[in-house]
Amino acid sequence: MVRVFVNASGVEVPAGSTALDAVRAWNDDAAREVVAGTRVITDSRGLPIDGGTPMPAGSILRLVAKRDRDAAAEPAAEPADESAVEPAVEPDA
């Protein structure tokens, strides 16, 4: 068995286990989210890694939400109509 850390929690997995195996040992629901593509496994530097990557003892993994790059590329919402906002009134000095 080797000790691997997933989101700061130590888990014991058999030698030769993959990153996905380690996540599954930590939390089965989280592993399902990785398989479904809604979460991504990253290494200790925050770089995405494949779930099939073999885990040596002491590996550090983190799970992050997968960002939808298409949504990030969409233009921002139009600003509110400023004409509907009353101007600030300064107090008499």
Q: Decide if 92 is inside a domain.
A: no
For the chain, the domain total comes to: 1
Rounded distance, CA 58 to CA 36, Å?
A: 26
Q: Decide if 35 is inside a domain.
A: yes
28-36 helix and 19-26 helix, angle to the nearest 10 degrees: 140
Q: Decide if 36 is inside a domain.
A: yes
Q: Look up the domain containing 50 and give its range.
A: 2-67
pTM above 0.75, yes or no: no
Q: CA geometry: angle at 52 spanning 34 and 27, to 5°? A: 40
Q: Decide if 90 is inside a domain.
A: no
Q: Decide if 45 is inside a domain.
A: yes
CATH of the domain at 35: 3.10.20.30
Rounded distance, CA 5 to CA 12, Å?
A: 9
SS (H, E, C) 13-31: ECCCCEHHHHHHHHCHHHH
pLDDT at position 73 is: 57
pLDDT at position 77 is: 57
pLDDT, tens digit, 9 for 90 and up, residues 7-29: 999 999 999 999 999 999 999 99
pLDDT, tens digit, 9 for 90 and up, residues 41-88: 999 999 999 999 999 999 999 999 998 766 555 555 555 555 555 656
